[in-house]
A and B are shown apart, each in its own frame.
Chain A
């Protein structure tokens, strides 16, 4: 496995394709999704990676869909940031230029959440990325596009998690302190 390019790019495709497959309304894709096995999902990821990484810098960011992603109604819209490609698979009910902006908002949100996000952040905090995405896109439809709103919600939920952990932790440290004091 080549360090860096494979897992990260894969993971990004994974998130987007996996989530955003639902964006496509076409029955064919849902069908395809219902029948997809892990192998097929991996194949979709690999194909997409091939298609997108071959693209030149100054061509347009839209790729027509092949059979794998459910036919010609679906498009792949991608943006290239440093070493990462963020790919969204959408159908004709979404505005193509709007999705480009959405990708931008998403990346900026990640940036704010992780403080100058870099590839490693995304690799090691997969679950956090999923959580952020869940605040933005739900069931394949765009939920919230206001960056501050998203960040507020995500922070609040993280706080909840931390407080649960802290209750556990506090008990332990209390015991320790007690024993030393003795």
Chain B
């Protein structure tokens, strides 16, 4: 068989191929030749063949048949063979192949070879791809080599040890004695790898960390020598002496100094020295400075040093080199929480970075800008951020918009400014705004009562220009529906009122309904808006016509709404005004209590749940009660929510239920209203007296007693349903100041159901003058032990207080 071609020939041949197919053909031919050569067990040319195989593997062709050959090469005596064999092992083998275990013995022998380069090869391979079994077997050999005086081997052994520790952390102890003398080496290579080993050990085990803290003085000394030593041709990189080692040592110092005062103190001087003496004209110097800054920020350094560090970062920001600006922004982002004021000083530079061309820099500058916004600079910053929003890439717009909303909410100097900002965002980036922004915005608009006219006017004007951005259109149509009368009557103090006729308004809304650009959700909003206008404008006939047209729409949601509204016109016209009244001010939902079934009010509107579909008609509890009154004949205590959790849930469903007689199921993706609610409510609607005043002998208990607030539970059994326990809470305040805005929330495990009725008051007077009472009804069909988690929020002496508690000491009679 002719001698197989050399690697060089192969490469040359492959490069002449002009198409993918040609290349594949050549490779296949050569592959076949190599395979037959392997089969013939040809020793002389094996290494050449494996080299070619590795090249083909690099191009992406299968090469698994060469794995055993690599092993044979490793076992050979020649250095050349071993070299290629080990290389092949590193490239082709990994833990998944069982073949790799066969190498263990070879590596063991080679670790004890007479030639240092062979030992080096073995260490290298073990360090790159050794599996945990191999590491366990060979750790002893590695440890021996760690103590040798040959610096070439020592540095390789150190890195190999790191790999062993990563694979088998239990073996870390084994390497501890060998580390004693590592730092006294002169050879920089060994020093470098030793520092890596020490770093790895410190990161993995806190015991090691405290053990190695005593090395800090030694490290400081080494660092000092490096800085002061002047020009040393061996380790010089662009004029600085071994920057890699400096960076490594700084990193280790960071880990050692974190959280420890003594070590941090020992390092302060050297850090200051490095920070001031390092030349910053080249990347090398900057790398060292960057590492120094990170170290200063992490350890307990004195404040002067910290200010120095942040100033260095500020200087980085002005540097022309993009990389430096990038790392500076990243580090500033990390430190802005702790050293806020210092970072504020560089705000203008950061804001300038928003205009940079580089995407990574822009993103970081944006995040940092949001972190820096506060009450003082909100106007200026917002201008810049809005400008950024206009001009940035789409991938940023969603994040930027959300960030702007958050910042505006926290720091808005005036309501009008707030609304202006929101509208600006909606009109520029309206389609990128997140879906949950829409209900938030609606709530915000509702709350700023004096701005209604101004808002609706501006929204209307903007809507005339552009109807393609869905979130914006949704908010606008909702506003027009609510405040259309203000729009038409033209009463706006803030701006020049515009003349809008009723027909124009209805034209716009009908346009939205008919347009292809509107999503189904938007159409739902628009139809509801039209309906609401029937009580606010006078062109009722036109509205009736519109509504009836959509009664036969293909979209089921739209059809349902239209049919219901039609019914409102026909059968329930007397209720229409009450139903379509202006929305009351919604309060922000209280934060969710404990995780299990949370119900803060008797209505089927669990707090904080996001609606999957937009509201049809938002049904506040007040109106529901009016409705109940209208339906007549109930002596139910009105279930007014205690913590008004008014998110626009799809209360359309409940409305229908209560109105009875009207079609259908609630819109399907309703928020998870616990299905047991209707029967519960019906329970309450039954005409029997709810409360059984006959004491059933269940002893009362104290559920909570902290900070002057004491909550007692008294128990009764309902006589309509023996599974229901009625708990009355008595909240008393023994401090001298009263507690206002008192909100009591409770959650129970899933097998229970809970209904909270309204409290007697939300202010608990001081000095036990009069407890606040509230009734809880607990349904316990499975007779399990009652447990409850309660959350209390109130304002006391001007500051808000919040507390969570578990109540486990229910007397057994209460749940049996």
Instruction: Please tell me which one of the listed residues B20, B160, B290 contacts residue A139 in the complex, with CB atoms under 8 A apart.
Output: B160
Contacts of B326 in A (CB 8 A): 60, 62, 96
Contacts of B234 in A (CB 8 A): 146, 148-149
Given known A1-B17, A1-B19, contact A161–B80 (CB-CB < 8 A)? yes
Q: Which residues of chain B from 487 to 533 have a CB within 8 Å of any chain A CB?
A: none
Count contacts on A: residues with CB < 8 A to the other chain: 57
Indicate if A101 sits at the interface (CB-CB under 8 A).
yes
Contacts of A153 in B (CB 8 A): 117, 152
Query: In the complex, how many angstroms separate the beta carbon of A24 from the nearest chain B beta carbon?
Result: 12
**A56 CA / B322 CA spacing, docked (Å):** 12
**A102 CA / B243 CA spacing, docked (Å):** 10
B60 contacts A38, C-beta separation under 8 Å: yes
Q: Which residues of chain A from 107 to 153 have a CB within 8 Å of any chain B CB?
A: 123-124, 126-127, 130-131, 134, 138-146, 148-149, 153
B127 contacts A97, C-beta separation under 8 Å: no
B244 contacts A101, C-beta separation under 8 Å: yes
Indicate if B717 sits at the interface (CB-CB under 8 A).
no
Given known A95-B287, A98-B287, A131-B83, contact A123–B11 (CB-CB < 8 A)? yes
Indicate if B242 sits at the interface (CB-CB under 8 A).
yes
Given known A1-B23, A124-B8, A164-B78, contact A143–B360 (CB-CB < 8 A)? no
Indicate if A18 sits at the interface (CB-CB under 8 A).
yes
Indicate if A173 sits at the interface (CB-CB under 8 A).
no
Contacts of A105 in B (CB 8 A): 237
A14 contacts B359, C-beta separation under 8 Å: no
Indicate if A66 sits at the interface (CB-CB under 8 A).
no
Given known A145-B244, A146-B188, contact A62–B287 (CB-CB < 8 A)? no
**A133 CA / B20 CA spacing, docked (Å):** 29
B242 contacts A96, C-beta separation under 8 Å: no
A100 contacts B283, C-beta separation under 8 Å: yes
Which one, A3-11, A82-90, A174-182, is touching chain B?
A: A3-11
**A146 CA / B57 CA spacing, docked (Å):** 31
Contacts of A141 in B (CB 8 A): 159, 162, 193, 196
Provide the B1-29 mask, 1 if CB < 8 A to any CB of A, else 0: 00000011001101101111001000000
B162 contacts A130, C-beta separation under 8 Å: no
B327 contacts A98, C-beta separation under 8 Å: no
Query: In the complex, how many angstroms separate the beta carbon of B250 from the nearest chain A beta carbon?
Result: 9
Indicate if B536 sits at the interface (CB-CB under 8 A).
no
Provide the B57-68 mask, 1 if CB < 8 A to any CB of A, else 0: 111111000000
Given known A97-B323, A98-B287, A160-B117, contact A127–B360 (CB-CB < 8 A)? no
Query: In the complex, how many angstroms separate the beta carbon of B755 from the nearest chain A beta carbon?
Result: 45
Contacts of B357 in A (CB 8 A): 56, 58-59
B20 contacts A143, C-beta separation under 8 Å: no
**A147 CA / B290 CA spacing, docked (Å):** 24
Interface of chain B, helix or strand or loop or mixed?
helix
**A164 CA / B82 CA spacing, docked (Å):** 12
Instruction: Please tell me which one of the listed residues A14, A19, A101, A164 contacts residue B237 in the complex, with CB atoms under 8 A apart.
Output: A101
Interface of chain A, helix or strand or loop or mixed?
helix
Closest residue on chain A to residue B118 by CB atoms: A160
B128 contacts A34, C-beta separation under 8 Å: no
Contacts of A160 in B (CB 8 A): 79, 115, 117
Q: Which residues of chain B from 100 to 120 have a CB within 8 Å of any chain A CB?
A: 115, 117
Indicate if A170 sits at the interface (CB-CB under 8 A).
no
Indicate if B382 sits at the interface (CB-CB under 8 A).
no
B251 contacts A134, C-beta separation under 8 Å: no
Contacts of A62 in B (CB 8 A): 323, 326, 360
Q: Which residues of chain A from 43 to 76 have a CB within 8 Å of any chain B CB?
A: 56, 58-64
Instruction: Please tell me which one of the listed residues B11, B91, B159, B283 contacts residue A124 in the complex, with CB atoms under 8 A apart.
Output: B11
B79 contacts A164, C-beta separation under 8 Å: yes
Contacts of A56 in B (CB 8 A): 357
Given known A97-B286, A101-B244, contact A60–B323 (CB-CB < 8 A)? yes
**A98 CA / B155 CA spacing, docked (Å):** 20
Which B residues contact A (CB, under 8 angstroms)?
A: 7-8, 11-12, 14-15, 17-20, 23, 51, 54-55, 57-62, 78-80, 83-84, 87, 91, 94-96, 115, 117, 123-124, 127-128, 152, 155-156, 159-160, 162-163, 166, 188-189, 192-193, 196, 234-235, 237, 242-245, 247, 251, 283-284, 286-287, 290-291, 322-327, 357-361
Q: List 28 A-B contacts (CB under 8 A).
A: A1-B20, A7-B15, A34-B95, A34-B96, A56-B357, A95-B251, A95-B290, A96-B327, A97-B287, A97-B327, A101-B287, A102-B244, A124-B11, A126-B7, A127-B87, A138-B159, A139-B127, A139-B159, A141-B162, A141-B196, A142-B192, A143-B189, A144-B189, A144-B192, A146-B234, A146-B235, A146-B242, A157-B83
Add 9 more A-B contacts to A123-B11, A126-B54 (CB < 8 A): A14-B58, A34-B96, A58-B322, A58-B357, A59-B322, A101-B284, A145-B242, A160-B79, A161-B83
5 shortest interchain CB distances as A-B pairs: A97-B287, A60-B322, A139-B127, A59-B358, A145-B244
